[in-house]
Chain A
């Protein structure tokens, strides 16, 4: 759970997360925007389906990986939010349609 300090006034950037519109602020990373909006867990692991959320916020732990504008497994903590960005979270193991 996070809150914005009252003094913070940045431009609002609207992104879409799993089809839902989310208001972030300019300068937020995707991972920070997800945490600020309370959208945790941000992924379910491919191994056991366990819920996870961003952990290190500095490009090391890969817990924040999401699909951004169609590119899978991006580190959300390293990508700044952009207007109309499409973010999809990872829900466990990928299924192959045969």
Chain B
């Protein structure tokens, strides 16, 4: 589908074709609302179901049945009649629900009566010494390469960090026949005790049995080093070794690939740039949007669904997408039929009940969020170190936005996506404030790069031309 063949306005525009976006689209388009789903990837599925319609990995046991469940979500969304626009970037969204799109070198604006932001999650920054070396990647990134291209790490491979995705990726790689030299598990031993009071909600979840089975499968094939308290990657021009400390013992492993993961956090750039209010979540240790029970944000007409609304996993994302879809139908076409919201809420509550345990157990330890070493790079783009951020904070820098002026931290191409949370926590710690008070980078459109040529060539109304041309 080409941008110029797109209508000017939709009832519902959904940003992101992952679990939440696809589920929302099936509801709104199914109810007869003109629905557009935009995603910057080559096909639908988001990250969890990445490339689910095109994956060259035919042995279905490698990625597992939970991955292939995404085929049904995509099929339902397509069958609903929603317009699906792939390889398209949303670079702007404002309070008037005007949406800036860019596809294949051309850009245009459309409007919607309702917007559902379903931009999902990104992996939490994992700032350790050497994390910018070629050879160091996120576990999620490697999982994407497996799903989309059937590519797997070759050579000595170490996985480090904590969280469910780490174990999922390890099991998928083991099934694909990849030798993993070691898993450096950074989950503090004390976290198991802290998480225990939340166990009741978790044991009842299907995630419990799945999680145990994954760990058992991986631990049978891979050396798992528990209680890792320090990790350093090193190499000249590329990764050569990883050194870890655990239980007062240090070891250096020769390594070609180091895969890092310590959980995921909401992808907030578009929602923040649109002016949606966010708050600091002290258990998830990230900024999450302030939402009502239907997922509506502080900006009228903008709802946020899925992990972008706060991390709760793919199944919850799907239900949150449906809820946002039902709310859109109630608002825009009250007489149209929509699924029963009560039943969706019950399923969502079951999925969310498991979160307390997971979030407490897999809360990344402080030293992997706030680098103790001053030399560790925090802002990968502008190469600003933890020491520089701390020094600025000690000199009186009040928050992330002033820090930009002092150091250029957060001003590179990624626009703070890979340093924002780290910077907030470093400033909070140095100044003795809460992250909520320190706040986040102020984000503005364009939230993704767009060329001046694209902007200049955008179709403009006669009135807009008359306003600036004599």
Does A9 interact with chain B (Cβ within 8 Å)? Answer: yes
Interface pair B56/A2, CB less than 8 Å apart: no
Bound Cα distance A91, B257 (Å)? 23
Does B137 interact with chain A (Cβ within 8 Å)? Answer: yes
Interface pair A2/B138, CB less than 8 Å apart: no
- Contact residues in B for A1 (Cβ distance below 8 Å): 135, 153-155, 256-257
Interface pair B134/A36, CB less than 8 Å apart: no
Bound Cα distance A48, B377 (Å)? 13
* Contact A58 B87, CB 8 Å, known A4-B150, A32-B149, A65-B413: no
Does B434 interact with chain A (Cβ within 8 Å)? Answer: no
| Closest-CB distance, B106 to chain A (whole angstroms) | 12
- Contact residues in B for A3 (Cβ distance below 8 Å): 151-154
Contact bitstring A47-77, B, C-beta under 8 A = 1, else 0: 1101111111111111101000001010001
Interface pair B140/A58, CB less than 8 Å apart: yes
Which among A36, A41, A48, A54 is the interface contact of B237 at CB below 8 angstroms? Answer: A41
- Contact residues in A for B40 (Cβ distance below 8 Å): 59, 78
| Closest-CB distance, B388 to chain A (whole angstroms) | 12
Which among A40, A45, A57, A65 is the interface contact of B140 at CB below 8 angstroms? Answer: A57
Interface pair B136/A55, CB less than 8 Å apart: yes
Bound Cα distance A47, B132 (Å)? 13
Interface pair A53/B134, CB less than 8 Å apart: yes
Interface pair B57/A8, CB less than 8 Å apart: yes
Interface pair B134/A73, CB less than 8 Å apart: no
Chain B residue nearest in CB terms to A63: B380
Interface pair B417/A60, CB less than 8 Å apart: yes
* Contact A60 B151, CB 8 Å, known A9-B56, A47-B383: no
| Closest-CB distance, B176 to chain A (whole angstroms) | 6
- Contact residues in A for B142 (Cβ distance below 8 Å): 57
| Closest-CB distance, A45 to chain B (whole angstroms) | 7
Main SS of chain B's interface residues?
loop
Interface pair B238/A55, CB less than 8 Å apart: no
Bound Cα distance A12, B145 (Å)? 17
Contact bitstring A74-88, B, C-beta under 8 A = 1, else 0: 000111100000000
Chain B residue nearest in CB terms to A2: B151
Size of chain B's interface in residues, with CB distance under 8 A?
A: 56
Contact bitstring A21-46, B, C-beta under 8 A = 1, else 0: 00001011100100110001110010
- Contact residues in B for A80 (Cβ distance below 8 Å): 42, 87
Bound Cα distance A7, B105 (Å)? 35
Does B299 interact with chain A (Cβ within 8 Å)? Answer: no
Does A5 interact with chain B (Cβ within 8 Å)? Answer: yes
Chain A residue nearest in CB terms to B50: A58
Contact bitstring B40-82, A, C-beta under 8 A = 1, else 0: 1110000100010011111100100000000000000000000
Does A20 interact with chain B (Cβ within 8 Å)? Answer: no
Does B451 interact with chain A (Cβ within 8 Å)? Answer: yes
- Contact residues in B for A77 (Cβ distance below 8 Å): 144
Interface pair A56/B151, CB less than 8 Å apart: no
| Closest-CB distance, A1 to chain B (whole angstroms) | 4
- Contact residues in A for B51 (Cβ distance below 8 Å): 27
* Contact A27 B54, CB 8 Å, known A53-B135, A61-B417: yes
Interface pair B54/A2, CB less than 8 Å apart: no
Interface pair B140/A32, CB less than 8 Å apart: no
* Contact A55 B56, CB 8 Å, known A29-B148, A35-B151: no
Contacts of B4-49 to chain A: CB distance below 8 A = 40-42, 47
Which among A25, A63, A78 is the interface contact of B56 at CB below 8 angstroms? Answer: A25
- Contact residues in B for A54 (Cβ distance below 8 Å): 137, 141
Bound Cα distance A12, B184 (Å)? 37
- Contact residues in B for A8 (Cβ distance below 8 Å): 56-57, 149-150
- Contact residues in B for A45 (Cβ distance below 8 Å): 381, 383
Does B294 interact with chain A (Cβ within 8 Å)? Answer: no
Q: Which residues of A contact B (CB under 8 A)?
A: 1-5, 7-10, 25, 27-29, 32, 35-36, 40-42, 45, 47-48, 50-63, 65, 71, 73, 77-80
29 A-B residue pairs with Cβ-Cβ distance under 8 Å, sorted by A, are A1-B155, A1-B256, A2-B154, A3-B153, A5-B62, A5-B150, A7-B57, A27-B54, A27-B56, A27-B149, A28-B149, A32-B149, A32-B151, A36-B151, A45-B383, A53-B137, A53-B238, A55-B138, A56-B141, A57-B137, A57-B140, A58-B47, A61-B414, A61-B417, A62-B412, A62-B414, A62-B417, A71-B105, A80-B42
Q: Which residues of B contact A (CB under 8 A)?
A: 40-42, 47, 51, 54-59, 62, 87, 89, 105, 122-123, 132-138, 140-142, 144-145, 148-155, 176-177, 237-238, 256-257, 267, 380-383, 412-414, 417-418, 448-449, 451
List of 8 A-B pairs having minimum Cβ-Cβ separation, nearest first: A53-B134, A57-B141, A8-B150, A62-B413, A3-B154, A40-B134, A1-B155, A62-B414
List 5 additional contacts besides A4-B150, A41-B238, A60-B123; criterion CB under 8 Å.
A2-B154, A27-B51, A55-B418, A58-B47, A61-B380
